[in-house]
């Protein structure tokens, strides 16, 4: 079987780490099998869906490296849904309900008070024509539910193993709003059937929905795909992640300077039996990917882990991978020598800007010991400095003054960079140059 999987976000907000993980695992599963990855925008909620959010989703997927083979929009398929809906009405699988949200909530509270599961009682099936006419005379428009078969539904989940759901404990899902627009459940099933989707990856909060959907597939004469329900992500302390928490949107992570491969490296292994490791290319992530290695227990997402991973990935990137991006930061003259000197001290790429200014622009040197720094300026060679200059220069100062360790190196770093810590001075010194280094050691703002 040729694998065909889909990522189906609603363009009602920004992509966050939770659904980015779903998109990534879906893409990896399809590509590891040599299959097809589909982007489907579930945009039937006209009030909240926007093209701006749809484009933001596309931009995020491109940033992550998740190219799609097909793109579809549910808003383009309303005629198809209407066709299926009419057939299901004729078959008696959809029925009209006239309860208001307030009436449904009262029923729910009463059932809970009686220690009963809050399952819809199908009262709408017993309405007389007179009662229906009275409701419609009030101006009530019905919503429509899919009538479930009261049976046991089971499937072999690619992550959770065997799943068994007793449909007697599940309410008939609403599939058509009172304004006549179709809802997620039925649209998703029709799309998956029409698009020949073979595998669906989604969060474990959809497990009950899947049982309902399996019955819907059967009702429209289609075979259900295979399912993989991923355990949900939690915060670092085990708290639930809000999908609308702006600090966890991919857009905000990108704005913070997080590398796409840092997100990919973390989310592709988080919650699995495989270790989280820094990867520089998607091919490395694909190698060894196995969806069955994901656990059923929630995985903790800690932004600090992402930052640490980001640093490791930056520290390993070759200059060619960042040259254009450095130019975009107005570091047009930055070369491989500069990159190799500073990359080991970067948390995000934009940190390179500060080190560029420290090397090339005037700074306020910090003179910890005036006499020692003056002596160091006298002993620093003129002309071009090399990687060998720092160890030779500091070695000579050590012999002459008896200083060693922090007492030797710390005053020099403060004078030359104004910073307590940073890249290795043997790499920075040639970039600063002899004349500027001597001036700084004398306390000059150059």
pTM, two decimals, is 0.91
% of the chain residues with pLDDT over 70: 98
CA–CA–CA angle 230, 240, 299 (5° rounding): 40
Q: Residue holding tokens 């992509």?
A: 15
The pLDDT score that the predictor gives to residue 236 is 80
The pLDDT score that the predictor gives to residue 247 is 60
The pLDDT score that the predictor gives to residue 45 is 87
The torsion region of residue 202 among left (phi > 0), alpha (psi -120 to 50) and beta comes to beta
Taking residue 409's Cβ as centre, other Cβ atoms within 10 Å add up to 16
CA distance linking residue 192 with residue 175, whole number of Å: 16
Top-tier CATH class for 370-441: mainly alpha
246-316 and 370-441, same CATH topology: no
Top-tier CATH class for 246-316: mainly alpha
- Give 361-426 as a DSSP string: S------S-HHHHHHHHHHSPSS---TTHHHHHHHHHHHHH---THHHHHHHHHHHHS-SS-S-HH
**Orientation of helix 17-32 relative to helix 51-64, angle to 10°:** 60
Predicted confidence (pLDDT) at residue 93 exceeds the cutoff of 70: yes
Mean pLDDT over residues 150-167, rounded? Answer: 97
User: Quick check: 186 and 84 in contact, CB under 8 A?
Assistant: yes
Taking residue 440's Cβ as centre, other Cβ atoms within 10 Å add up to 26
* pLDDT band, residue 244 (cuts 50/70/90): very low
Q: Which sequence spans correspond to the domains of the chain?
A: 4-68+184-234, 80-176, 246-316, 319-360, 370-441
CB-based burial label for 35 (10 Å; 0-12, 13-18, 19+): middle
Mean pLDDT over residues 185-207, rounded? Answer: 97
CATH code assigned to 80-176: 3.90.800.10
- pLDDT tens digits, one per residue of 289-325: 999 999 999 999 999 999 999 999 999 999 999 999 9
Top-tier CATH class for 4-68+184-234: alpha beta
Predicted confidence (pLDDT) at residue 243 exceeds the cutoff of 70: no
* pLDDT band, residue 46 (cuts 50/70/90): confident
- pLDDT tens digits, one per residue of 339-370: 999 999 999 999 999 999 999 999 999 999 99
User: Quick check: 346 and 334 in contact, CB under 8 A?
Assistant: no
CB-based burial label for 90 (10 Å; 0-12, 13-18, 19+): exposed
Q: Torsion angle of alpha carbons 200, 203, 209, 210, nearest 10°?
A: 30
- pLDDT tens digits, one per residue of 406-429: 999 999 999 999 999 999 999 999
Predicted confidence (pLDDT) at residue 240 exceeds the cutoff of 80: no
When the pLDDT of each residue in the chain is averaged and rounded to a whole number, the result is 95
């Amino acid at each position: 079987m040729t694998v065909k999987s889909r990522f189906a976000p609603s363009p009602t907000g920004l992509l966050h780490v939770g659904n980015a993980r779903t998109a990534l695992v879906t893409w990896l599963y399809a590509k590891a099998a040599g299959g097809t990855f589909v982007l489907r925008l579930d945009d039937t909620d006209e009030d909240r869906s926007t093209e701006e959010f749809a484009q933001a989703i596309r931009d995020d997927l491109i940033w992550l490296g998740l190219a799609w083979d097909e793109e579809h929009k549910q808003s383009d398929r309303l005629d198809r849904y209407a066709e299926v809906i009419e057939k299901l009405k004729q078959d008696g699988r959809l029925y009209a309900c006239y309860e208001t949200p307030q009436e449904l909530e009262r029923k729910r509270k009463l059932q809970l008070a009686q220690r009963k599961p809050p399952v819809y009682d199908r009262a709408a099936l017993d309405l007389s024509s007179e009662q229906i006419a009275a409701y419609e005379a009030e101006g009530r428009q019905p919503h429509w539910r899919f009538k479930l078969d009261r049976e046991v539904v089971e499937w072999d989940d690619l992550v959770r193993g065997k799943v068994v759901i007793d449909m007697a404990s599940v309410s008939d899902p609403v599939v058509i709003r009172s304004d006549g627009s179709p809802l997620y459940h039925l649209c998703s099933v029709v799309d998956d059937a029409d698009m020949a989707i073979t595998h669906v990856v989604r969060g474990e909060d959809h497990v009950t929905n899947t049982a309902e959907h399996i019955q819907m597939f059967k009702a429209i004469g289609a075979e259900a795909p295979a399912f993989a329900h991923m355990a949900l992500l939690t915060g670092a302390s085990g708290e639930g992640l809000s999908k609308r928490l702006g600090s966890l949107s991919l857009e905000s992570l990108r704005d913070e300077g997080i590398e796409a491969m840092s997100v990919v490296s973390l989310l592709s292994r988080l919650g699995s039996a495989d270790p989280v490791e820094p990867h520089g290319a998607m091919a490395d992530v694909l190698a060894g990917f196995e969806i069955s290695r994901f656990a059923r227990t929630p995985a903790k997402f800690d932004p600090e882990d992402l930052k640490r991973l980001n640093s490791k990935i930056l520290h390993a990137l070759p200059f060619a991978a960042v040259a254009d991006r450095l130019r975009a930061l107005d570091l047009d003259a930055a070369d491989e020598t500069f990159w190799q000197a500073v990359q080991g001290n970067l948390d995000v790429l934009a940190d390179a800007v500060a080190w560029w200014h420290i090397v090339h622009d005037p700074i306020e040197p910090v003179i910890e010991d005036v006499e020692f720094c003056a002596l160091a300026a006298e002993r620093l060679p003129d002309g071009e400095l090399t990687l060998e200059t720092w160890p030779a220069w500091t070695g000579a100062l050590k012999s002459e003054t008896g200083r060693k360790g922090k007492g030797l190196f710390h005053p020099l770093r403060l004078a030359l960079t104004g910073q307590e810590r940073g890249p290795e001075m043997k790499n920075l010194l040639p970039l600063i140059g002899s004349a500027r280094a001597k001036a700084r050691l004398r306390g000059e703002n150059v």
